[in-house]
């Protein structure tokens, strides 16, 4: 069964100049008043998001962005926000009108190509000025696909947009995986080790744990959840023989000493990195921890936004582990919530990405690709912790 939570939904962004009708198009597509519509330039300021079921596509998140030519007082910031939104989407809809296909549209389409974001071009406001053959030709040359001309915002025309989006998303699909895909079978006993510390949300489990429980149940496995302090009792006194143990990476050192070598062991973060991250690049990049030097900067990428605590993994525990492991004065910086990375990537010796439980695979790949293009080593929280605990090969053995 496909998980329909927000982090697994396709993200589709609507882009274009001011007043081309992006917001009204989204309202027509959703049949709801999602975005404010006005003839006033700059009506849409921050990116507006709406989760819906799109016919033929499924569960998606639509993003309404500010105009790419916004020249209002805050226009420059709004344009930057819109361009950053392009790094977060699985597909883009470029809306044009009045036969304007200039540098703004050409630059945007080039950005789509560089980020491997499929884009369809929609001609809006046909009633104001009809699309010319020249415009259709320009779009065809720039995109290798036909311009979709909207005569109106009827249901039939909206279904055409959905159909086109379905086609482009299918052709650019990042390989689909589930958390436990290929490493468990029905009736396997899967033990999940879930520490409860000050950083754990009160009264509930963290999302990676919930996702793993659900996937284990979907795969007809027998799922047992324990704290690390009860794991030894489960294995020795209760006589449970798991087919797989998945632990929080923070207690890798403790858990690995309890779990016999013949029992497969990995972590939630490692599973997520395989499910939606740049896993092969992580495997190659993690050993770079041994090459870090005094004064090197390491960027910690967190996909979620949360209030840090004294036990925060990305901002406190992992940086301390890196400094202790390397014996070097390593400077660690954190960027959270998929916000733009302001510091030039060239300043970082290494980048370590979280599991990405609230991000899509496309968002993580887009975020890491510039660093990979520059030859910067990348790793994942779980893999980095496993490496520094000397169990890197053990926790990745189940994937080989």
User: Which residue ranges make up each domain of the chain?
Assistant: 6-171, 189-271, 278-394
The CATH number given to 278-394 is 3.40.50.11410
pLDDT of residue 367: 86
Neighbouring C-beta atoms of residue 249, cutoff 10 Å:
27
pLDDT of residue 309: 55
Are 189-271 and 278-394 equal in CATH topology? yes
User: 183-188 long-range CB contacts below 8 Å, 24 or more apart?
Assistant: 183/244, 183/264, 183/398, 183/399, 184/216, 184/219, 184/221, 184/243, 184/244, 185/219, 185/221, 186/219, 186/220, 186/221, 187/220, 187/221, 187/222, 188/219, 188/221, 188/222, 188/243, 188/244
189-271 CATH pick, 3.40.50.300, 3.30.1330.60, 3.40.50.11420, 3.90.550.10: 3.40.50.11420
Q: How does pLDDT run along the chain (400 residues), one tens digit per residue?
A: 334 445 568 899 999 999 899 998 998 988 866 544 444 554 445 688 888 888 888 889 999 998 998 776 666 788 888 888 898 899 999 999 999 999 999 999 999 988 889 999 999 999 899 999 999 999 999 998 999 999 999 999 999 999 999 988 887 665 567 899 999 999 999 999 999 876 666 778 888 999 999 999 999 999 999 999 999 999 999 989 999 999 999 899 999 999 999 999 999 999 999 988 789 999 999 999 999 999 999 999 988 765 555 567 888 889 999 999 999 999 999 988 777 788 999 999 999 999 887 788 888 888 898 999 999 999 999 999 999 999 999 999 999 8
Task: Give the CATH fold of the 6-171 domain.
Answer: Rossmann fold (3.40.50)
pLDDT of residue 391: 96
pTM for the whole thing?
A: 0.73
């Amino acid at each position: 069964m496909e998980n329909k939570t927000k982090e697994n939904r396709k993200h589709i962004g609507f882009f274009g100049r001011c007043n081309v009708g992006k917001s009204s198009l989204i309202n027509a597509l959703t049949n709801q008043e999602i975005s404010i519509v006005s003839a006033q330039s700059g009506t849409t300021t921050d990116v507006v998001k709406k989760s819906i079921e799109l016919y033929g596509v499924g569960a998606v998140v639509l993003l309404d962005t500010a105009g790419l030519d916004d020249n209002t007082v805050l226009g420059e910031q709004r344009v930057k926000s819109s361009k950053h939104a392009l790094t977060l989407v699985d597909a883009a809809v470029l809306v044009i009108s009045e036969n304007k296909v200039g540098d703004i549209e050409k630059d945007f389409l080039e950005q789509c190509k560089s980020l491997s974001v499929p884009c369809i071009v929609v001609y809006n406001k046909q009633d104001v000025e009809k699309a010319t053959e020249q415009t259709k030709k320009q779009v065809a040359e720039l995109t290798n696909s036909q311009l979709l001309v909207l005569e109106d915002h009827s249901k039939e025309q909206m279904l055409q947009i959905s159909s086109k989006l379905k086609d482009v998303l299918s052709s650019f699909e990042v390989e689909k995986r589930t958390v436990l895909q290929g490493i468990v079978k029905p009736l396997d006993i899967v033990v999940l080790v879930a520490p409860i510390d000050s950083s754990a949300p009160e009264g509930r489990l963290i999302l990676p744990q919930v996702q793993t429980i659900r996937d284990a149940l979907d795969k007809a496995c027998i799922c047992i959840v324990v704290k690390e302090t009860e794991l030894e009792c489960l294995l020795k006194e209760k006589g449970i023989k798991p087919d797989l143990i998945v632990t929080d990476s923070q207690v890798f050192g403790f858990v690995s000493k309890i779990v016999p070598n013949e029992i497969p062991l990995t972590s939630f973060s490692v599973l997520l990195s395989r499910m939606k991250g740049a896993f092969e690049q992580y495997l190659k990049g993690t050993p770079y921890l041994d090459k870090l030097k005094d004064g090197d900067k390491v960027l910690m990428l967190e996909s979620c936004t949360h209030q840090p605590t004294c036990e925060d993994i990305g901002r406190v525990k992992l940086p301390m582990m890196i400094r202790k492991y390397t014996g070097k004065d390593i400077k660690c910086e954190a960027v959270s919530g998929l916000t733009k990375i302001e510091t030039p990537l060239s300043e970082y010796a290494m980048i370590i990405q979280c599991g990405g439980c609230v991000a899509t695979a496309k968002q993580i790949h887009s975020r890491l690709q510039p660093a990979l293009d520059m030859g910067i080593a990348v790793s994942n929280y779980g893999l980095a912790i496993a490496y520094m605990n000397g169990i890197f090969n053990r926790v990745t053995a189940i994937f080989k």
